[in-house]
Structure 1
Amino acid sequence: MKLEVDTHTHTYASGHAYSTLLENVQQAKESGLKMFCTTDHSESMPGAPHHWFFANQKILPRFISGIAVIRGVEANIMNVQGEIDIPLHVQASLDWVIASLHEFVFKPANKKEHTTALINTIKSGCVDALGHLGNPNYDFDFHAVIACAKEHNVAIEINNTSLRGGSRVGSIDRCYEIACVARDLGAFITTGTDSHFCEQIGRLALVSDLLDKVKMPSEQVITYSTRQFLNFLRLRGKPAITEYAALL
């Protein structure tokens, strides 16, 4: 499946990534992307920037070197209540909010607590996608969480880095299972490289292969085209981005 959007990328501002935004843009162009989301880690992660960094993304051009840049964040799920570490006024200025469980912030507990945290995060209305759910350190009830995501129009991320095997070991089979549950429930899928170095931007071959193998309908994959991605943002209640009208 050809994918036009990479929805999960990092710059050196995350504290443990190694490229600039301009380097990421250049790689996005070389990889044939039309759009990508810049989603640095939010402030609870070691080395991550203050929330002012994210609020100030308003200064970024909508296109850089011809590539559409979506203003976003990878926020941390802080607790079982599903709170994230980005203030509401900052969330309102962003196009795209991923929420993820990270070991440094949310100590792995048990399947019930993880499931409750994910469901409460979805129901908060603050997030557009759940990141790298394949992580075996955070087992959860796949059906319950994905059904809730379907109900609230929150996308389920299939993370290319998780499929490479070197990070979050044990994620591959879980990602396939998660994708199958999402397919059967009609939930939205998003695809991201989780790039921490520019050369990874847009390299979504493993995700693309997974989606083909499980016969995921392209209409469920919001990154299949810029049109589908932007329509998903509108479904989420985000204001139209007039500069991107030609991408619809």
Structure 2
Amino acid sequence: MGMTDHGPSMPGAPHLFHFDNLSILPDELSGVKILPGVEANITNHEGELDMPLKYLAYLKLILVGLHPICYPGGTCEQNTQAYIKAMENPYTDMMVHPGRPDFEMDLEKIAHASALLNIPVEVNNSSLSTIREKGGARENCRSIARYMAKYKGPVILGSDAHFWDRVGEFSEAVELVREVGISQQQILNTSPERVLDYLTSRRKHRTEFEETQGQVHRFA
């Protein structure tokens, strides 16, 4: 189970104390593996996040995305740059809902960067759902999915439920990845083991980064 509340720049999001307190959680509860984390918000065109590195250093699942209110918006080039720079952050594990229409982006560049960096990009079921349909979201999702199939970068399927009865609802996302030809090998969350192995590899990458840059607390 991943626990990824929005980062603190989102109105109504938990205070940083919440993320600090996640460090007390055990690795497993009642046979369920626990992944305390965050859905961090990109805050500027340089792809900076709203979470200090001292928190990112011990969280186990770091999702990153663009959200209105938290990000000022910009041109297509600026928004694309912000998204890709956040993807290059060694603390980023996965990028979320690139198909949302709030900010225009070059979706082909994002898919290409995902393949080069081996950072999964989400196919977001909520963005495809008629329940929460927003103008342009479905077509954007189809576009990014086609580019992900073309460049063969890693993909994560997400329900982005926002309500308990839609947790784990992937039907429209599964339909889309089949439609555009994304292979099963590209989809990270086809098993718990693949997700955990990937996160272990990201922690190794993060450790190597910290060793070259000095202790993480120097950035906090």
- Report TM bin, short chain: 0.7 to 0.9
Q: How many Å apart are 1:67 and its aligned residue?
A: 3.1
1:104-163 per-residue CA deviation (whole Å, 9 max, x = no partner) reads 111332211111111211222221111111012212112222222222221101111111
SS in 1 for 2:181: coil
Distance (Å, rounded) in 2 between the aligned partners of 1:212 and 1:65: 35
The equivalent of 1:203 in structure 2 is 169
Q: Is 1:108–2:108 an aligned residue pair?
A: no
Amino acid paired to 2:38: V
Contact 1:73 1:97 in 2 (8 A): yes
Greater shift, 157-166 or 50-59, is seen at 50-59
Deviating above 4 A after TM superposition, structure 1's stretches of 4 or more consecutive aligned residues are none
Matches within 5 A, 1:205-224: 205-224=171-190
Q: Which TM-score applies when normalising by structure 2? A: 0.86
Selected match of 1:194 from 160, 172, 178? 160
Q: How many Å apart are 1:167 and its aligned residue?
A: 4.3
Q: How many Å apart are 1:223 and its aligned residue?
A: 0.6
Distance (Å, rounded) in 2 between the aligned partners of 1:152 and 1:167: 30
Amino acid paired to 2:24: I
Amino acid paired to 2:167: I
Amino acid paired to 2:120: A
Distance (Å, rounded) in 1 between the aligned partners of 2:192 and 2:73: 35
SS in 1 for 2:188: coil
Task: Give identity over the alignment, percent.
Answer: 31
Contact 1:55 1:93 in 2 (8 A): no
Unaligned runs of 5+ in 1: 1-35, 240-248
The equivalent of 2:3 in structure 1 is 38
Q: Is 1:181–2:181 an aligned residue pair?
A: no
Contact 2:152 2:182 in 1 (8 A): no
The equivalent of 2:202 in structure 1 is 236
The equivalent of 2:137 in structure 1 is 171
Q: How many Å apart are 1:86 and its aligned residue?
A: 0.7
Q: Is 1:69–2:34 an aligned residue pair?
A: yes
- Equivalent residues, number: 204
Contact 2:161 2:169 in 1 (8 A): no
Contact 1:153 1:236 in 2 (8 A): no
Distance (Å, rounded) in 2 between the aligned partners of 1:168 and 1:232: 32
Unaligned runs of 5+ in 2: 206-220
The equivalent of 2:101 in structure 1 is 136
Q: Is 1:162–2:124 an aligned residue pair?
A: no
Amino acid paired to 1:196: H
When the two chains are superposed, the root-mean-square deviation of aligned CA atoms in Å is 1.7
SS in 2 for 1:127: coil
SS in 1 for 2:72: coil
Contact 1:55 1:94 in 2 (8 A): no
Larger relative contact order, structure 1 or 2 (CA cutoff 8 Å, min sep 6): 1
Greater shift, 206-215 or 184-193, is seen at 206-215
